[in-house]
């Protein structure tokens, strides 16, 4: 099935005795410490890439737990005090028939973070187990993770927008709860985790397979 992919033609810079610059893509002889073109530090592979990926991944996962248990939004009106968690908020939005906002919040704060945890763990595990049967699929997955990373903060923005919208209403006052901080920490930690992953490690696994 995968025979039409030219996987056997993969030649990494490291294999050719070169080191690539991750900033400007220029290649220099192995052992060069700084890029002669842009001056940034050169690493054939980021040092301790996987350890850092797992450390930040775990930090993100730990922060994600209180992000779901603590209230995300605290609404105060003259007569009531209401605190809702992420899931509680989604249920409330559905109750008020705000299906679109409910879907956005659910997607941004549940589906995307969990998908990202799974995807990063899968990439790291494939490299650790030296399994890269489908290098193109793993690279595609890495690209998706990178793309999602740019939109991860969307939920924090949703909370900020909701807060400012309701703030205009003099009857109700709305504050972000403790979960908002935990969520932001979780998003930042998973973002760093994904950034620590050196996609060039996927080349090594492919080459390892070829030599087996
Ligand atoms: Zn450079």
209/212 Cα distance (integer angstroms): 5
Compute the distance from residue 20 Cα to the ligand 1 centre, in Å: 8
Whether residue 122 sits in one domain with residue 27: no
What is the DSSP-derived secondary structure letter of residue 110? I
What is the three-class DSSP state of 128?
helix
Mean pLDDT of 98-124: 88
Whether residue 35 sits in one domain with residue 136: no
Residue 4: inside a domain: no
Compute the distance from residue 14 Cα to the ligand 1 centre, in Å: 16
Residue 144: pLDDT over 80: yes
Residue 1: pLDDT over 60: no
Compute the distance from residue 195 Cα to the ligand 1 centre, in Å: 18
Whether residue 200 sits in one domain with residue 99: yes
Whether residue 15 sits in one domain with residue 110: no
Whether residue 64 sits in one domain with residue 32: no
Whether residue 181 sits in one domain with residue 96: yes
Whether residue 150 sits in one domain with residue 73: yes
94 CB-contact burial (10 Å; exposed 0-12 / middle 13-18 / buried 19+) = middle
Quote the pTM value.
0.79
Whether residue 85 sits in one domain with residue 190: yes
Token representation of residue 152: 């991860």
Specify the higher pLDDT residue, 100 or 66. 66
| pLDDT, mean over the chain | 82
Residue 5: inside a domain: no
Compute the distance from residue 37 Cα to the ligand 1 centre, in Å: 5
Compute the distance from residue 211 Cα to the ligand 1 centre, in Å: 30
Residue 93: pLDDT over 90: no
Compute the distance from residue 28 Cα to the ligand 1 centre, in Å: 9
Compute the distance from residue 12 Cα to the ligand 1 centre, in Å: 17
Residue 141: inside a domain: yes
Compute the distance from residue 203 Cα to the ligand 1 centre, in Å: 20
Residue 176: pLDDT over 90: no
Specify the higher pLDDT residue, 147 or 70. 70
93/183 Cα distance (integer angstroms): 19
Residue 202: inside a domain: yes
Residue 91: pLDDT over 60: yes
Compute the distance from residue 34 Cα to the ligand 1 centre, in Å: 8
Number of domains present in the structure of the chain: 2
Residue 17: inside a domain: yes
Residue 160: inside a domain: yes
Residue 75: pLDDT over 90: no
Residue 209: pLDDT over 80: no
Specify the higher pLDDT residue, 101 or 165. 101
Whether residue 23 sits in one domain with residue 90: no
Compute the distance from residue 58 Cα to the ligand 1 centre, in Å: 31
Compute the distance from residue 202 Cα to the ligand 1 centre, in Å: 21
Compute the distance from residue 40 Cα to the ligand 1 centre, in Å: 6
Whether residue 111 sits in one domain with residue 197: yes
Whether residue 142 sits in one domain with residue 38: no
Domain that holds residue 18: 10-44
Compute the distance from residue 145 Cα to the ligand 1 centre, in Å: 24
Beta pairing partners, 28: 19
Residue 202: pLDDT over 60: yes
Residue 34: pLDDT over 70: yes
Residue 210: pLDDT over 70: no
Residue 137: pLDDT over 60: yes
Whether residue 163 sits in one domain with residue 129: yes
Amino acid 5: pLDDT: 47
Residue 123: inside a domain: yes
């Amino acid at each position: 099935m995968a025979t039409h992919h030219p996987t056997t033609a993969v030649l990494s810079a490291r294999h050719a005795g070169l080191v690539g610059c991750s900033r400007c893509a220029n290649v220099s002889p192995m052992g060069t410490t700084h890029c002669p073109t842009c001056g940034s530090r050169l690493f054939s592979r980021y040092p301790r890439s996987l350890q850092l990926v797992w450390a930040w991944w775990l930090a993100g996962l730990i922060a994600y737990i209180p992000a779901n248990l603590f209230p995300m939004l605290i609404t105060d009106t003259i007569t009531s005090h209401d605190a809702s968690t992420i899931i509680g908020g989604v249920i409330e939005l559905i109750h008020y028939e705000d299906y679109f906002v409910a879907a956005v919040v659910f997607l941004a704060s549940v589906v995307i973070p969990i998908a990202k945890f799974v995807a990063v763990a899968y990439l790291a595990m494939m490299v650790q187990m030296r399994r890269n049967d489908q290098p193109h699929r793993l690279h595609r997955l890495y690209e998706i993770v990178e793309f999602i990373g740019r939109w991860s903060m969307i939920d924090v923005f949703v909370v900020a927008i909701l807060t400012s919208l309701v703030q205009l209403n003099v009857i109700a006052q709305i504050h972000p709860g403790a979960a908002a901080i935990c969520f932001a920490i979780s998003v930042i930690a998973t973002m760093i985790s994904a950034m620590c992953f050196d996609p060039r490690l996927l080349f090594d696994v492919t080459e390892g397979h070829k030599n087996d």
